[in-house]
Chain A
């Protein structure tokens, strides 16, 4: 094992090299560019025996990855923001065809106004694309998820494409000390992809991506949904087996921090979870019963796991680095549905922050916990809070 001082993007590239994809098809876009630059270097210097395909767009990048996957080879692509949306048409194509492609997405704002910095508007846009979506907290988790993602996506019970999301700049460009596992360990953990039922075979040729009209279409979609829901078990299974081999675990669908006796719980994704860990410690030391959930997976959505952790909470806050215009933050909507389905009745608050790369500071997290504590104490409190806003609303 080597310890390296590298950025989140470097960590993704190291993780991809260890996972040994056969083909990388990607188009550079800020803040993902370093990932594809490094992978291109690795292909050039021979440390990754893969074909690096120069494609003319993100749409072509995923189309090429689908071609790779459909013959049983391992495919990787990476994108961000406008690039992800340009790729959008192919996302449900890949998931409906059940191709275990892995994609890194550097979470970045969407135009207009034009902006290259981090928020989660891009991946939220594609929550319905049929891809598994995980959000990582730091560079180490980014590297480890490159290995876990192939393991989960290629499981015969899952066979679903996988999107690994890193907060643009905050994670992609921040340097951290990262453990890079030995290749032999990864090879043993992640054997080559086996030719699956939905892949082309020269011995028994198949028609791929066939038509299914109103007579059979619905059953295909139900199957896809049922098997995506069932992947929650495989996600937990892989996290556990990964911990046995590599010594690091991420608690599957979500991580609950100090939630056992918590009266208020803040739900976060990505790098904001890291900042919130420090505030949890600070507030606990002051005697406040506060808890934190690091929501890792948004699809499949961990309804049961969430309900278990939230069952005694008086107030629940959801951090959203996105807005679904005309409504609220998208994660808030999803969490509210899970709460309602589980028969829970906490007060719920949405903290919308970090749009277009606006900082989410420790002070902002304190403000969130203060609002939740006052709401739990019975004070009336806004449902939607915009954090770190520079002018009056």
Chain B
């Protein structure tokens, strides 16, 4: 899928080396951000009709169609469940994270 490109962040060695004002070059992400997710949306590809409704409503823009199916980027999905709630054919299920992490 078209995941955001991660670029490593070189920590400034001195306070002087910090950027002037709180600025940074645009279009890069330095860390994943999904730590507080308790339920994970899982797409049942059999039921999905590729209507793209979930793609449109996802507040974090983590649902992507770069092949012939929709995929969710779990590095940035916060588990809000809007996609599952809005899915008409009920193709998205919210599954407890514990089931994936043992």
Contacts and interface: CB of A to CB of B under 8 A. Distances in A.
Given A223-B15, A223-B16, A226-B15, A159 B25 contact: no
Interface in A219-239: 219-220, 222-223, 226
A96 B25 CA distance: 17
A222 B16 CA distance: 9
A285 interface: no
Nearest to A224: B21
B18 A219 contact: yes
Nearest to B22: A210
A204 B25 CA distance: 7
Contacts of B20: 98, 159, 196-198
Contact of A219 (B15, B24, B27): B15
Interface string B25-46: 1110000000000000000000
Contacts of B24: 206-207, 210
Contacts of A97: 21-23
A144 B30 CA distance: 46
Nearest to A217: B22
Interface in A191-214: 196-198, 204-212
B18 A223 contact: yes
Contacts of A98: 20-21
A99 interface: yes
B12 interface: yes
B28 to A, nearest CB: 9
A197 B25 contact: no
A214 to B, nearest CB: 14
B101 to A, nearest CB: 24
B22 A96 contact: yes
B20 to A, nearest CB: 4
A205 B19 contact: no
A209 B25 contact: no
Nearest to A210: B22
B12 A208 contact: no
A98 B22 CA distance: 8
A222 B22 contact: no
B18 A220 contact: yes
Contact of B19 (A197, A204, A222, A226): A197
A334 to B, nearest CB: 24
B8 to A, nearest CB: 15
A220 B23 CA distance: 11
Contacts of B21: 96-99, 159, 197-198, 208-209
5 contacts: A198-B19, A205-B25, A206-B26, A210-B23, A223-B15
